[in-house]
Structure 1
Amino acid sequence: MATKAWFHAVVTGFRKLRDLKDRGDKFETLESLMSFRMGSAPNGGTVSHLMCGNSSGWKSCPERGLNICPHCRLIKYCSEKCKNQHWAKHRFHCMHPYLSDTWEPSWIADRRDPAFLHPSTGMTLFRQTVDFWGDLPAIDCFQLANNEGYNNAEPLPDLKLCFAASGNLRNLIRTINALPVDYTGYCDVLLNETDPILVNRNLLILFVLLSPGPSIEEAAEFCVHLVYSAALPAAGADYLQRCVNFIYACRGEFEADLSFRRCLGTRGEGHVYCVQPSAGVKRPLEMFHSNYTLSAAVQSMKETTLAADRLDFREKSLAKLKPAHRMASQRFRESGILAPFSLNTNNFTQPNRLLFSPQGTWMVPEDANALFGWDLGVVRNSGIKHGTSPEDISGCLFFHVKNELRDFARRVKELKIDIHLTSFAPTILAKGIAIGAMPGFEDASFDRISTSNLVDSIGLRACLSDWGPLLNRENKFATLLAHTKSWHSQPPPPHAAQHWGPRAMKLLEAKCHTVPGLDVKMKTVFAQGLRSPALCRIVDSLSAFHDNEPEFQEYLNDQNAERSAAAFDLRLRSTHRVHPKRLGMPLNAPKWQRLPDLSSNEFYDLFIIGGANLPVRFLEFEGIGRTEYD
Structure 2
Amino acid sequence: MSYGLGSGPGGATLSELGCYNDRAEGGPCASSALLACAQPHWIKEHRVPSFCITPSESKNPNLNGVTGNRLWGHFPAYDVLQLPHNEGLTAGTYQDFKLCFTAASDIRNVVQTINNLPRSYQGTCDILLNEQDTISANRNLVILYRPELAVHLMYSSRLTSSMAAYLQRCVHMIYGDAPRGVDMIFQRTFPTRGRGRLSSAQPAMAIKHPVEMFLSRCDASRAMRRMKDVLFDPARLDERHRLLAALEPPHRLAHIYLWKTGVLAPFSLDLSSFNQPNRLAFTPQGSWLGKRSDLSPLHGWDVTRVRASGLKNGIDPAGDIFGSLFFHIKQELKEFITRIKDFDINIHHTQYDPRLLSKGVTIGVLPSFTNAMFDRIDIGDMGDKFGVAECIEDWGALLDKRNPHSCILAHSVSWIDSRPSPSRSFSSPEKVLEPLKWKCRNIPSLGQRLKAMLQQGSYSPPVLRLIESLDAFVDSGPSFQEFLASRKVYSTCLSVGLHQRERHNVHPKRFGIPLDAPSQALPDVSKEEYYNLLTTGGADLTTRFMEFEVAA
TM-score by length of 1: 0.79
Distance 2:409 2:382 in 1: 10
Distance 1:251 1:349 in 2: 28
Distance 1:169 1:73 in 2: 37
Gaps of 5+ in 1: 1-69, 75-91, 210-218, 626-630
Q: How far is 1:499 from its partner?
A: 4.9
Decide whether aligned partners of structure 1 residues 460 and 543 sit closer, same or farther in structure 2, where only a CA change above 3 A counts.
same
1:313 has 2:239 as partner: yes
Please say which of residues 325-334 and 243-252 is displaced more in the overlay: 243-252
| 1:279 corresponding residue in structure 2 | 205
Root-mean-square deviation (Å): 2.6
Q: How far is 1:508 from its partner?
A: 2.1
Distance 1:344 1:206 in 2: 27
Deviation readout 1:404-431 (Å, 9 max, x if unpaired): 1111011000000000110111111111
- Which amino acid in 1 is paired with 2:440? C
| 1:163 corresponding residue in structure 2 | 101
TM-score by length of 2: 0.89
Q: How far is 1:494 from its partner?
A: 13
Please say which of residues 314-323 and 482-491 is displaced more in the overlay: 482-491
Q: How far is 1:569 from its partner?
A: 1.2
What are the equivalent positions in structure 2 for 1:75-154 lying under 5 Å apart? 99-101=33-35, 103=37, 104-119=39-54, 120=58, 124=62, 128-149=67-88
| 2:301 corresponding residue in structure 1 | 374
| 2:499 corresponding residue in structure 1 | 571
Q: How far is 1:622 from its partner?
A: 1.1
| 2:275 corresponding residue in structure 1 | 349
Decide whether aligned partners of structure 1 residues 197 and 518 sit closer, same or farther in structure 2, where only a CA change above 3 A counts.
same
Deviation readout 1:478-513 (Å, 9 max, x if unpaired): 111111112236268998452562321123223322
- Which amino acid in 2 is paired with 1:376? V
- Which amino acid in 2 is paired with 1:330? I
| 2:374 corresponding residue in structure 1 | 446
Distance 2:86 2:252 in 1: 41
1:612 has 2:539 as partner: yes
1:179 has 2:113 as partner: no
Decide whether aligned partners of structure 1 residues 349 and 130 sit closer, same or farther in structure 2, where only a CA change above 3 A counts.
same
Deviation readout 1:333-357 (Å, 9 max, x if unpaired): 1111111122111100000111111
Secondary structure of the residue aligned to 2:458 is helix
- Which amino acid in 2 is paired with 1:340? P
**Is contact 1:573–1:622 with CA below 8 Å preserved after alignment?**
yes
Q: How far is 1:163 from its partner?
A: 0.5
| 2:225 corresponding residue in structure 1 | 299
Decide whether aligned partners of structure 1 residues 495 and 296 sit closer, same or farther in structure 2, where only a CA change above 3 A counts.
farther
Decide whether aligned partners of structure 1 residues 522 and 184 sit closer, same or farther in structure 2, where only a CA change above 3 A counts.
closer
What are the equivalent positions in structure 2 for 1:554-569 lying under 5 Å apart? 554-569=482-497
Gaps of 5+ in 2: 1-15, 21-25
Corresponding residue to 1:228 among 124, 134, 155:
155
Secondary structure of the residue aligned to 2:194 is coil
1:529 has 2:529 as partner: no
Q: How far is 1:128 from its partner?
A: 3.6
Distance 1:494 1:207 in 2: 44
- Which amino acid in 1 is paired with 2:35? D
Distance 1:100 1:529 in 2: 20
Distance 2:420 2:288 in 1: 27
| 1:476 corresponding residue in structure 2 | 404
Q: How far is 1:110 from its partner?
A: 4.2
1:259 has 2:185 as partner: yes
**Is contact 1:115–1:121 with CA below 8 Å preserved after alignment?**
no
Percent identical among aligned pairs is: 42
Q: How far is 1:250 from its partner?
A: 4.0
Deviation readout 1:334-392 (Å, 9 max, x if unpaired): 11111112211110000011111121011211121200021211100011111111121
Q: How far is 1:190 from its partner?
A: 0.3
Decide whether aligned partners of structure 1 residues 521 and 602 sit closer, same or farther in structure 2, where only a CA change above 3 A counts.
closer
Decide whether aligned partners of structure 1 residues 544 and 176 sit closer, same or farther in structure 2, where only a CA change above 3 A counts.
same
| 2:173 corresponding residue in structure 1 | 246
**Is contact 1:497–1:530 with CA below 8 Å preserved after alignment?**
no
Deviation readout 1:8-42 (Å, 9 max, x if unpaired): xxxxxxxxxxxxxxxxxxxxxxxxxxxxxxxxxxx
Decide whether aligned partners of structure 1 residues 234 and 518 sit closer, same or farther in structure 2, where only a CA change above 3 A counts.
same
**Is contact 2:74–2:538 with CA below 8 Å preserved after alignment?**
yes
Q: How far is 1:519 from its partner?
A: 8.2
Decide whether aligned partners of structure 1 residues 534 and 233 sit closer, same or farther in structure 2, where only a CA change above 3 A counts.
same
Distance 2:159 2:116 in 1: 30
| 1:188 corresponding residue in structure 2 | 126
1:584 has 2:518 as partner: no
**Is contact 2:422–2:470 with CA below 8 Å preserved after alignment?**
no
Decide whether aligned partners of structure 1 residues 500 and 619 sit closer, same or farther in structure 2, where only a CA change above 3 A counts.
farther
1:551 has 2:474 as partner: no
- Which amino acid in 2 is paired with 1:147? N
Q: How far is 1:532 from its partner?
A: 1.2
| 1:511 corresponding residue in structure 2 | 439
Distance 2:238 2:71 in 1: 24
Distance 1:549 1:517 in 2: 31
Q: How far is 1:111 from its partner?
A: 4.2
**Is contact 2:99–2:377 with CA below 8 Å preserved after alignment?**
yes
Secondary structure of the residue aligned to 2:144 is helix
Q: How far is 1:296 from its partner?
A: 0.5
- Which amino acid in 2 is paired with 1:320? A
| 1:17 corresponding residue in structure 2 | none
| 1:596 corresponding residue in structure 2 | 523
| 1:28 corresponding residue in structure 2 | none
What are the equivalent positions in structure 2 for 1:324-339 lying under 5 Å apart? 324-339=250-265
Distance 1:454 1:310 in 2: 27
Decide whether aligned partners of structure 1 residues 329 and 181 sit closer, same or farther in structure 2, where only a CA change above 3 A counts.
same
How many residue pairs get matched? 525
Decide whether aligned partners of structure 1 residues 495 and 595 sit closer, same or farther in structure 2, where only a CA change above 3 A counts.
closer
